[in-house]
Amino acid sequence: MREIISTEIEQVGPKLVEEFSYTGEHPDMIEFKKPWEVCIQVGQGDGKISLDGKPIESEGFSKCCALILQNKTSPESALFHIDDVDLNGAQELVLQKLSKQGRYDVTFVRGSLSRDLKKRITSSKYFSTNLDVERFLEDIEFDTGQQAWEIVYKSEEKRVYLNSQSQKKVFVFQL
């Protein structure tokens, strides 16, 4: 009788660790008020890498979803703002630049209107052959209402900050 060995990648969940409300136009965090001063900014349909743990920020999500990759052995991380049904050519080039030495935790983030693209993207030949995945974290899904939302990822803290503009609330998840 053969022993069956599971080849599935471990799947665990991010944990909601904090949420706070705000009254002004933006939360009282420099990363949301003036992201260009302290964050690497990711536009729609783009992806960026932070090699040294600098926060990564993107805004204008609605039907889009976010993909976060965190290197297990360094502060290197990446954030993708996926606004199509798959990674585009520019995003694939960013994926190629990730360290070949690293193993990554993978997290998808979706708001109320976001499409669920996890299975399509992670099963694509390009994604599975170019990335050494340590584990897939459960998706982060949160109520954004009908308005756009924004995200800041801080790899040194391994925390995701999600701004739900319709609720005027920031949700903080620990990876």
What is the secondary structure of 53-113 as a DSSP string? ---EEEEEESS-EEEEEEESSSS-EEEEEE-SSS--HHHHHHHHHS-TT--EEEEEEE-TT
Which CATH number belongs to the domain containing residue 62 in this structure?
3.30.1330
Give Cα 51 distance to the centre of its chain. 15
Six token digits for residue 55:
């926060």
Domain that holds residue 133: 10-174
Number of domains observed in the structure of the chain: 1
Six token digits for residue 8:
């599935």
155 is a domain residue: yes
pLDDT confidence of residue 10: 52
- Between CA 93 and CA 31 the distance in angstroms is 26
4 is a domain residue: no
2 is a domain residue: no
1 is a domain residue: no
pLDDT confidence of residue 5: 38
Determine contact, residues 76/55, Cβ cutoff 8 Å: no
Would you write out the chain's pLDDT as a tens digit for each of its 175 residues?
Answer: 334 333 454 556 799 999 999 998 889 888 888 888 999 999 999 999 999 999 999 998 988 899 999 999 899 999 999 988 778 888 888 888 887 778 899 999 998 888 888 888 887 777 777 788 888 888 999 888 888 899 999 999 999 999 998 899 999 999 9
